[in-house]
């Protein structure tokens, strides 16, 4: 069984906080405001994984009303989601992330971010897509007041003990009449 999940997050940029994106700290004069560290990249990936599992969203699992999560490293939250996926029999195939930000430029940090995400998810770096886009000066992101991220994740669940080649046929395949 293969499922796709999507996630999205946005946080306001404020002075006095470190900027964390994709599990690494970037040099910048402002950081993302949030109950946790505000890492929109890891939050979007977490939501994509939870969506693929049909398990709600990050706010349901780690509510901003719970003081245990105040200032927490989002890598810890993503780690808990990855463990939940594994306990439920899901394997992460790949993730693809788009970061929407005017500043800072992410290109110099892209390889490090991809490596960190891959390590957190237990997949190879070539299974992590990362793109950075500006908003061409439009809206709160374009004005440099916020950063957002969108993510898509592919999850695969195999029957217990079955090799990949022995996956269950899809409903479409089972219902097709045989050709003669």
What pTM does this model have? 0.87
Instruction: Write the pLDDT tens digit of every residue in 91-144.
Output: 999 999 999 999 999 999 999 999 999 999 999 999 999 999 999 999 999 999
Domains by residue range for the chain, with CATH: 2-175 (3.30.1330.50)
Instruction: Write the pLDDT tens digit of every residue in 29-44.
Output: 999 999 999 999 999 9
CB count in 10 Å sphere of residue 121: 22
3-state secondary structure of 132: strand
**Which pLDDT band, with edges at 50, 70 and 90, does 159 fall under?**
low
**DSSP-assigned states of every residue in 83-134:** HHHHHTTEEEEEEEEEEE-SSS--GGGHHHHHHHHHHHHTS-GGGEEEEEE-
The Cα 117–Cα 21 span in angstroms is 10
The whole-number pLDDT of residue 155 equals 98
């Amino acid at each position: 069984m293969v499922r796709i999940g999507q996630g999205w997050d946005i946080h306001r940029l404020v002075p006095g906080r470190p900027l964390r994106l994709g599990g690494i700290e970037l040099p910048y004069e402002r950081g993302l405001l949030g109950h946790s560290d505000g890492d929109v990249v890891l939050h979007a990936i977490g939501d994509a994984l939870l969506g693929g599992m049909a398990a709600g969203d990050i706010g349901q699992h780690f509510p901003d009303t719970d003081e245990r999560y105040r200032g927490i490293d989002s890598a810890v939250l993503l780690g808990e989601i990855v463990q939940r996926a594994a306990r439920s029999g899901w394997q992460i195939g790949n993730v693809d992330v788009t970061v929407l930000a005017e500043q800072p430029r992410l290109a110099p940090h892209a390889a490090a971010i991809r490596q960190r995400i891959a390590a957190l998810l237990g997949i190879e770096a070539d299974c992590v897509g990362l793109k950075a886009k500006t908003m061409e000066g439009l809206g709160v992101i374009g004005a440099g007041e916020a950063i957002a991220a969108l993510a898509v994740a592919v999850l695969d669940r195999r029957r217990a003990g079955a090799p990949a080649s022995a996956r269950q046929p899809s409903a479409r395949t089972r219902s097709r009449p045989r050709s003669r």
